[in-house]
Chain A
Amino acid sequence: MEQVLQQLINGISLGSIYALIALGYTMVYGIINLINFAHGDIYMIGAYIGFACTTFLGMSFIPALIVSMISTAVLGVIVEKVAYKPIRKSTRIAALITAISVSLFLEYGMMYFVKPETRTFPEVLSSKNITLGNLIVNNKDIYIVIITVVMMLVLQYVIHKTKIGMAMRATSMDSEAAQLMGISVDNTISTTFAIGSCLAGAAGVLVGVYYNSIDPLMGMMPGIKAFIAAVIGGIGIIPGAMFGGYLLGITETMVSAYGYSLYKDAVAFAILIFMLLIKPKGLFGKNVREKV
């Protein structure tokens, strides 16, 4: 029983990371119907910026986190303007392939500049173990969960209680109507990308601090898993992405706990396919009839 609880704890911090990245995916998809393959790589770049801040500029955790979030937000906007805007009217396949090309560009471009080896973060957050009986919880676990929940609450507030949030919701429902109502669709989209990217960047720094190791290809798998999490929760729905992230993290950990750790990626994909077949709008999604 204890082991199960311990695994649950393991799963929650993993889930937080997926949740943070999934938030960005779901927002972008909600607004321009694009699976931003490059999102996982923004997460990776966030981690590297955090690395640069802490290692070369000697910053501590929170400042590095903030700098990274701002930088990745800017990067996200740049990517959107340069790569995704020109293909906004293209076919879905064209958009997807463009996203893949951006992803490859970021990954291998980064690899060219920083070399493929892993880097380690300096110890900016001292590690303390809290033992509850036989369970071990690390203070970093707690940090990650708190930061993730806080981000989500802030995001919910922005989406539902601010003007820009309303603009984002309007644009995702019907971008032409939104434009007619005087909303600058371009700016709204850019803002969406900015917010989504800064969340991914935050996740990157958290991972760097928590696991201590970063490399240029670290964004691929978490990116795909985060997408799966977003789909599970309902793509375009923010609490759904959070829920999906935690569900996936815990499931993955449980699969490993039962000795099938080698299949955990396969299980994640199986869940995805299952969801897409049974409830493609996700657990929290609403069914929308397809108009002919």
Chain B
Amino acid sequence: MRILNKKNIIAVLFILLIYAAGEIMLRQGIIDSYIELNIILIGINIILAVGLNLVTGFTGQFSLGHAAFMAVGAYTSAILTAKFNQPFIVAIIFSAIAAALAGVIIGIPTLRLKGDYLAIATLGFGEIVKILALNIDYIGGARGFMDIPKYTNWTWIYFMVVLSIVVIKNFIDSRGGRACISISQDETAAEAMGINTTKYKILAFVIGAFFAGIAGALYANYFYFIKPDSFGYMKSIDILVIVVFGGMGSIAGSVVGAIVLSLISLFLQSIPELRMVIYAVILFLIMVYRPQGLLGKGEIKLKFLRKRVA
């Protein structure tokens, strides 16, 4: 069968190897809580970036409200784990579904919009979600939601990251994914070719939102406390910067981008006043000198596993 071929088996082994390495290093104390925290942050950013890349990079829908989906996921998970004592897996599933629903709700009205207008509309939706969160006292409002049980660990993060990358990559390689790509190239032509652009645009939003919801749940259940301000348009812009930096249209780019930018942010911890200024300059330089990002549209292929076809 196609699934059990050599390439996939090696990929699975590779994945498990890295997992084991991480787990061992954690237990041995080689990785302390400081590194663990940052790995978790990077993992969350990877999931967010990969999801947004699907929407913005592959389907060409410029979304500035991605953080709203993360918020939905985070609050759903917080409520389920803290108030209803549900196990984490239940919380994650529901967070993802809730965020996906939000994706539908936001995706449908914004379908007809293009380019800049779509960007501002999604920004608006993102802010609306944040304002709603600020005003609902059940989830704490401005005071935030505290005492969320800490369930996220290396295992969860790693496998969620792998899951998101595998699912989205496979989607992109499938017919659905190619439909999305065609929409980003030329929507009118795609429509003329009989592709149901409506369906695929919403699908892209939903998938992106689904994973953002998972990222939100992971975030809430690690950092123990969430507040609405963390999910505003600044966060959406942060994720967008990662996607652009890594290359819109490149999954590997999003992964690399998330890692590199998180590290840069870490290094800038010691010069707080200039951090955002430097960030802005980096963003600007990329847009002017290498707008396709670090990896452009390329991916990382395990070439040496492939048989050369003459």
- Which residues of A line the B interface, CB within 8 A? 33-35, 83, 86-87, 90-94, 96-98, 100-105, 107-109, 111-112, 224, 227-228, 231, 262-263, 265-266, 269-270, 272-273, 276-277, 280, 290, 292
Complex contact B128–A87 (CB within 8 A): no
Take A35-B116, A276-B113 as given contacts and tell me if A109 and B277 are in contact as well, using a CB distance cutoff of 8 Å.
Answer: yes
Complex contact B284–A112 (CB within 8 A): no
Take A96-B119, A266-B127 as given contacts and tell me if A90 and B135 are in contact as well, using a CB distance cutoff of 8 Å.
Answer: no
Please report whether the interface of chain A is mostly helix, strand, loop or mixed according to DSSP: helix
Q: How far is the CA of A186 from the CA of B237 in the complex (A)?
A: 30
Min CB gap A29→B, angstroms: 8
A103 / chain B contacts, CB cutoff of 8 Å: 280
B110 / chain A contacts, CB cutoff of 8 Å: 273
A265 / chain B contacts, CB cutoff of 8 Å: 127, 131
Report the nearest A residue to B122, measured CB to CB: A273
A227 / chain B contacts, CB cutoff of 8 Å: 120
Complex contact B121–A273 (CB within 8 A): yes
Please tell me if B194 contacts chain A, counting CB pairs below 8 Å.
Answer: no
Complex contact B109–A273 (CB within 8 A): yes
Complex contact B240–A102 (CB within 8 A): no
Please tell me if B132 contacts chain A, counting CB pairs below 8 Å.
Answer: yes
Take A111-B273, A227-B120, A276-B117 as given contacts and tell me if A292 and B188 are in contact as well, using a CB distance cutoff of 8 Å.
Answer: yes
10 closest A-B pairs (Cβ-Cβ)? A269-B124, A108-B276, A104-B280, A105-B280, A101-B283, A101-B284, A266-B131, A98-B287, A92-B115, A94-B291
Q: How far is the CA of A266 from the CA of B130 in the complex (A)?
A: 9
Residue in B188, B273, B280, B287 whose CB lies within 8 Å of A90: B287
Please tell me if B202 contacts chain A, counting CB pairs below 8 Å.
Answer: no
Residue in A91, A93, A266, A276 whose CB lies within 8 Å of B132: A266
Complex contact B277–A112 (CB within 8 A): yes
B237 / chain A contacts, CB cutoff of 8 Å: 100, 104
Other A-B pairs, 6, CB within 8 Å; known A102-B284, A108-B274:
A102-B280, A105-B280, A228-B120, A262-B131, A276-B113, A292-B188
A263 / chain B contacts, CB cutoff of 8 Å: 131, 135
Can you list 12 A-B contacts (CB < 8 A)? A83-B284, A93-B56, A93-B62, A93-B115, A98-B284, A100-B283, A104-B277, A105-B277, A112-B273, A262-B131, A277-B109, A280-B113
Min CB gap B182→A, angstroms: 15
Q: How far is the CA of A97 from the CA of B274 in the complex (A)?
A: 20
Min CB gap A196→B, angstroms: 17
Report the nearest A residue to B116, measured CB to CB: A35
Q: How far is the CA of A47 from the CA of B157 in the complex (A)?
A: 46
Q: How far is the CA of A269 from the CA of B113 in the complex (A)?
A: 15
- Mark out the residues of chain B between 45 and 68 whose CB falls within 8 Å of any chain A CB in the assembled complex: 56, 62
A91 / chain B contacts, CB cutoff of 8 Å: 291
Take A112-B273, A272-B120 as given contacts and tell me if A97 and B131 are in contact as well, using a CB distance cutoff of 8 Å.
Answer: no
Take A105-B281, A224-B123 as given contacts and tell me if A277 and B112 are in contact as well, using a CB distance cutoff of 8 Å.
Answer: yes
Residue in A90, A108, A224, A280 whose CB lies within 8 Å of B277: A108
Q: How far is the CA of A33 from the CA of B116 in the complex (A)?
A: 9
B134 / chain A contacts, CB cutoff of 8 Å: 262
Report the nearest B residue to A107, measured CB to CB: B276
Please tell me if B151 contacts chain A, counting CB pairs below 8 Å.
Answer: no
B112 / chain A contacts, CB cutoff of 8 Å: 277, 280
Q: How far is the CA of A103 from the CA of B127 in the complex (A)?
A: 18
Q: How far is the CA of A76 from the CA of B176 in the complex (A)?
A: 44
Min CB gap B144→A, angstroms: 16
Report the nearest B residue to A100, measured CB to CB: B237
Q: How far is the CA of A90 from the CA of B132 in the complex (A)?
A: 36
Q: How far is the CA of A269 from the CA of B122 in the complex (A)?
A: 10
Take A93-B62, A269-B124 as given contacts and tell me if A108 and B280 are in contact as well, using a CB distance cutoff of 8 Å.
Answer: yes
Min CB gap A182→B, angstroms: 29
Please tell me if B295 contacts chain A, counting CB pairs below 8 Å.
Answer: no
Min CB gap A245→B, angstroms: 16
Report the nearest A residue to B141, measured CB to CB: A262
Q: How far is the CA of A231 from the CA of B121 in the complex (A)?
A: 11
